[in-house]
Amino acid sequence: MNEGLLIHPMHLHGIPQKVVAKDGHRLPQPYLADTVLVGPGERYDVIVEGSEPGVWAFHCHVLNHAESPNGMFGMVTAMIVE
Ligand SMILES: [Cu+2]
């Protein structure tokens, strides 16, 4: 869900995102995406299958939304698959 005024291309490392709904409405044709472009006011539902153990970064691809000279911050987190 994007509550802001900027576009955020959200990327999960290593595992494709299966996009199944937009703004609460199921898509007739779900699709796999490496990066999901989430515009202001948009919501997406995605399914990811964590079949590979590891720590997978999930972040915005606009680098100044997730990275500074001091390291990662802001729109970055990790999905841990054990
Ligand atoms: Cu962003």
Token pair 């299966």 in the structure block, residue: 18
- Dump pLDDT digits (tens) for 35-79: 999 999 999 999 999 989 999 999 999 999 999 999 999 999 999
Q: Which fold has domain 8-81?
A: Immunoglobulin-like (2.60.40)
Q: Note if the pTM is more than 0.75.
A: yes
By the CB criterion, residues less than 5 angstroms from ion ligand 1 are 8, 60, 62, 65
User: What pLDDT was estimated at residue 3?
Assistant: 96
Amino acid at 60: C
- Residue 80's DSSP bridge partners are 55
Structural contact between residues 31 and 22, judged by C-beta atoms closer than 8 angstroms = no
How far apart are the two ends of the chain, measured CA to CA in Å?
A: 26
How many Å lie between the centroid of ligand 1 and the Cα of residue 81?
24
